[in-house]
Amino acid sequence: MTFELHRGKLIFRKMEQNLVRLAEDPNREAIHDFRTTSRRLETLLDLLLPTSDRNQRKLLKLLSRIRRRAGRIRDIDVQLAALRSFKVPQEPRRKTQLMHRLIDFRVQHEQKLAKLLKKKAITEAQKRIRRASQSLQPRSHRDPLVVANEILRAASTAGPLNDDILHRYRIVVKRARYAAEFSARSAERDRFIAGLKQLQDALGSWHDWMTLTRTASQQLGDIEQSSLVAALHNVTRVKFRHAVAALSGSPANSVAVNPAAHTPKPANRPAVLHSRAA
């Protein structure tokens, strides 16, 4: 499957636009668009181009630093959205308390992001984006669908699934999808991407609720101390089973998975306010 050069050129233009939008107003949509575009650009430069140069490496390092900071805000945004949608009678005051705490966290991380997005940093990134775009030539590139399948095969794992493995697979599925999107349109390509998107949605939903549950545990106590935390644990367990079932039934997974053999670990690690979620 051939590499689509115009898709490569387009991702550079989107990257510059989304970077400016993020600096102007780091709202939820701007953060999402910046992070997904920077991931697509990273996939292009890291995996699909035959060589990389000093400018490309510096560009990816700069974008990665911004993406990690923006990712912390994204984590909080999805937790707030999940918490607002969580209609339970348990501990309404503690739910409000948790929501206010998350809003405070967001303000703090937004201030830190603003420090990264000074005019000088934006100008440097724009120059490197344009330079990297100019170096993209209609020469031999790796087959995007071949690369996507290689990514998935390298990540496939047998044995019981746990939170860490599901989280890693969530990242892998996104990267495989981003690689496949650079291929020419075809029925095969569209079916492949649709399957990855379905799996990505299931893994992403589980991860969002797991993140909220861990944050709630840190802020409110464990399940014995808070009925709200206990209710969140129940939702997260259901989301975990759905994610495992989606992984088991997906053609993207080359290793058979038995959902009954897997159980989620308790959310007893520190809150993932500082985790990467792409």
The 3-state secondary structure of 116-167, one letter per residue: HCCHHHHHHHHHHHHHHHHCCCCCCCCCHHHHHHHHHHHHCCCCCCCHHHHH
Global confidence as pTM: 0.82
Domain spans of the chain, in order of start: 1-139, 143-269
CA distance 212 to 271: 8
Q: Which residues contact 27 (CB under 8 A, 6 or more apart)?
A: none
* Rounded distance between C-alpha atoms, residue 198 and residue 91, angstroms: 34
The three-class DSSP label of residue 79 is helix
Per-residue pLDDT of the chain (278 residues; tens, 9 = 90+): 456 677 888 999 999 999 999 999 999 999 999 999 999 999 999 888 877 789 999 999 999 999 999 999 999 999 999 999 998 888 999 999 999 999 999 999 999 999 999 999 999 999 999 999 988 775 657 889 999 999 998 876 566 788 888 998 999 999 999 999 998 888 989 999 999 999 999 999 999 999 999 999 999 998 889 999 999 999 999 999 999 999 887 655 543 333 334 444 444 433 333 333 34
Q: What residues contact 39, with CB distance under 8 A and at least 6 apart?
A: 67, 174, 175, 178, 278
**Beta-ladder partners of 4:** none
